[in-house]
Structure 1
Amino acid sequence: MTTLNLIAIRDGESNGGFYSPAKEKAAIRGPFHHRLHLFRRLRHVAKLKLFLVLFTFCGFFWFFSRIPSSLGWNIHPSSSSFSPSRGGYTVLINTWKRNSLLKQCVAHYASCHGTDAIHVIWSESDPPSASLTDYLNKVVIAKSHTAHKPTFKFDVNEEDNLNNRFKPIKDIRTDAIFSIDDDVIVPCGALDFAFTVWQTAPSTMVGFVPRMHWLGEKKDTHASYKYGGWWSVWWTGAYSMVLSKAAFFHRMYLDMYTNQMPASIREYVMRERNCEDIAMSFLVANATAAPPIWVKGKIHEIGSYGISSLKDHSTKRHKCVNDFVSLYGTLPLVSTDVKAVDARKEWFW
């Protein structure tokens, strides 16, 4: 046997007593292949751990989601939560020559559990037709999911005036008024949540469309203000108004707007055909010295046009804010950055 063969046999004997082709192959591959094999094993273990973490998380999520029902809690408002004895709310719809939108609007709000009554503010020259009235009465009954069916009524006005939407309503059974435009749909779940928020602060306005006022440049030593639209609110998170196109307020403000607010403001709204919603925000802020409450919730605008789509809309709104400040002699609006959020529907809060 040659010296080289003796060395090979002795190496085999020293590593375990026998020659092994597998050991020889491993020796040839060297430490790099060993590290690669180790990396693959670690990657396999990491995948297994990740799967276990996700499985555990899903298990916890399922378990805690079952707790409310097991304890007797109901995260979806039942019809009994808004029985007439607890008030509910009256839906006040402002409409103008858009019967197709009005039909969709009435049908939707009739299906919401909290709706006790629906009133449509009608300011057209011709009264609503008998066929339209009969149709909407049938829709309200058909769409309602409660034993207590909402009442339906047209509040007919002789003149076209934006102030009509805030006239007092006779014989209503609720303190809560939900003011809405005929082209705005608020999902029933969001609406019922906003109603519960309003019940905690019934003297203020609670709504879905926030707006802001900003201090502008002084004019003749007097402060001037600018009206801030949605993008101002989105950028800063601050607001001082919620528009009556989708908002709750107490029915007492209908009487205050019509009979106690300065007549000069109602005349201004009638003349300019704009800003009745800003006037209501001023009225409530002046009465409470408190900000409104913005409720986070998706709303759907089903119309394709309106006052806000006009070219000079922003300019007129700036003017309204400043003119109302002059008529009040002060600025009653109060800014805030507080927002009401339904935590049951939020992943991160």
Structure 2
Amino acid sequence: MTTGKVIFIFIAVASSRFFIVFSLRLLSGDHYCDLTRLPSPQALRSDQFTVLINGYSESRIPILQTVTGVYSSSPSVAAVVVLWGNPTTPAKTLVELSHNLSISSPGDAPISVIRQPSSSLNARFLPRPWISTRAVLICDDDIEVDPKSIQFAFEIWRSRSNNPEQLVGLFARSHELDLSSRTWIYTVHPNRYSILLTKFMLMKTEYLYEYSCEGGESMAQARSIVDEMGNCEDILMNFVAANKTDMGPVLVGAKRVRDWGDARNEGVRRRGRGLRAAGEEVAVGLSSRKKGHRRRRGDCIKEFHRVLGKMPLTYSYGKMVDSIGEQGLCEKGGKLVFCDQQTVF
């Protein structure tokens, strides 16, 4: 990794409820894989989890204020951290963002913004010495999940004491072998899945180290594929977890999910990994829904299989639900309505 200069900017803000100290940090890449700087797994708390939100586009800052507030209000959340991956965003903007998120939050969990050491999608899986929880939630900045579903997903993760290595999430996809072309493809099945998306992915904290620091040259090559494709870090994390467990992930249902990146949202106010204006798709995220998106992700599966030397992805069936009638929310005609079906990307 590229070595970065260590910069700390601390700003204290008085609040009627508490005294807030927040920071904007650019951390050196030399230290992430130094185990002496990381807490031992035994020291991590299991009653809460840490939320790591991938941030990139300034146009999504209004959404971030809502999303971070929901997570901060959850009693199971220890901290909410926005990992900012856009190197062109001015430091002043991120300082103001951190300040605004902190003082406007309705919850008690602290919210902070950290500039990533690079724009690489691999950076969202870097191990962090300040993570104090046994579980982390990796999520996107355009996904808003209702509080009860967040809590339910965490309870499902905690309840799997016999195999806590399984990933738990809300959005599932699948791999498949195309017999005609004899190659791996990325797809969706109505009754089975093998991949969870980082829109909402709960996992054990140790996976950050295993993804970023272990696996030798083959994992280094796999991470390079993520950088070359500008995509597929979620698929590679599923490879890591499946290789550890020999099991598929766990899909959890949500009562309400508001996905600003869903293609079924209409109008120029669409917010997601792309913004639509005057009929044009404009990429605003690190991994945009470009033409051929599904084919490119199939190429990732094929390349990961090649460099890692095995296909660990395993199918799971069904999902854990807390109630019936779960629905996603989409924007149509300037109003929020229930989405009628899942759109696959």
TM-score range, shorter chain: 0.5 to 0.7
Deviations 1:175-200 (A, max 9, x none): 11111100001111011001011012
Q: Distance in 2 between matches of 1:265 and 1:280?
A: 10
Cα offset, 1:155, TM superposition:
2.5
Residues 123 and 159 in structure 1, CA contact (< 8 A), matched pair in contact too: yes
Aligned position for 2:154:
195
Residue 88 of structure 1 aligns to a residue in which SS?
A: strand
Q: Distance in 2 between matches of 1:127 and 1:168?
A: 25
Is 1:135 the counterpart of 2:95? The answer is: no
Cα offset, 1:308, TM superposition:
5.3
Q: Decide which structure has the larger Cα Rg and report it.
A: 1
What is the 5 A alignment of 1:43-122? 87-98=47-58, 99-122=61-84
Q: Distance in 2 between matches of 1:279 and 1:85?
A: 26
Cα offset, 1:97, TM superposition:
1.6
Aligned position for 1:309:
289
Residues 248 and 315 in structure 2, CA contact (< 8 A), matched pair in contact too: yes
Cα offset, 1:226, TM superposition:
1.1
Cα offset, 1:127, TM superposition:
5.1
Aligned position for 2:265:
none
Tell me: CA distance 1:87–1:216, structure 2 relative to 1, closer, same or farther (3 Å).
same
TM-score by length of 1: 0.67
Q: Distance in 2 between matches of 1:200 and 1:264?
A: 35
Q: Distance in 1 between matches of 2:97 and 2:110?
A: 15
Deviates more, 1:93-102 or 1:306-315: 306-315
Query: Structure 2: 5+ residue runs without aligned partners?
Result: 1-43, 262-270, 274-286, 326-345
TM-score by length of 2: 0.68
Residue 326 of structure 1 aligns to a residue in which SS?
A: helix
Of 144, 150, 163, the residue aligned with 2:122 is 163
Residues 68 and 111 in structure 2, CA contact (< 8 A), matched pair in contact too: no
Is 1:244 the counterpart of 2:206? The answer is: no
Is 1:211 the counterpart of 2:173? The answer is: yes
Is 1:224 the counterpart of 2:183? The answer is: yes
Residue 234 of structure 2 aligns to a residue in which SS?
A: helix
Q: Distance in 1 between matches of 2:192 and 2:200?
A: 18
Cα offset, 1:92, TM superposition:
0.6
Cα offset, 1:166, TM superposition:
0.5
Q: Distance in 1 between matches of 2:100 and 2:56?
A: 18
Of 252, 258, 274, the residue aligned with 2:231 is 274
Is 1:253 the counterpart of 2:253? The answer is: no
Aligned partner letter, 2:315? S
Aligned position for 2:314:
334
Aligned partner letter, 1:292? P
Cα offset, 1:312, TM superposition:
1.3
Of 237, 250, 263, the residue aligned with 1:293 is 250
Tell me: CA distance 1:176–1:100, structure 2 relative to 1, closer, same or farther (3 Å).
same
- Considering only aligned residues, what root-mean-square deviation do their CA atoms show, in Å? 2.0
Residues 127 and 156 in structure 1, CA contact (< 8 A), matched pair in contact too: no
Of 144, 153, 160, the residue aligned with 2:112 is 153
Query: Structure 1: 5+ residue runs without aligned partners?
Result: 1-83
Q: Which has the higher strand share?
A: 2
Aligned partner letter, 1:325? H
Residues 265 and 324 in structure 1, CA contact (< 8 A), matched pair in contact too: yes
Residues 50 and 77 in structure 2, CA contact (< 8 A), matched pair in contact too: yes
Cα offset, 1:112, TM superposition:
2.0
Cα offset, 1:104, TM superposition:
2.0
Deviations 1:3-60 (A, max 9, x none): xxxxxxxxxxxxxxxxxxxxxxxxxxxxxxxxxxxxxxxxxxxxxxxxxxxxxxxxxx
Residues 117 and 123 in structure 2, CA contact (< 8 A), matched pair in contact too: no
Identity of aligned residues (%): 29
Residues 72 and 111 in structure 2, CA contact (< 8 A), matched pair in contact too: no
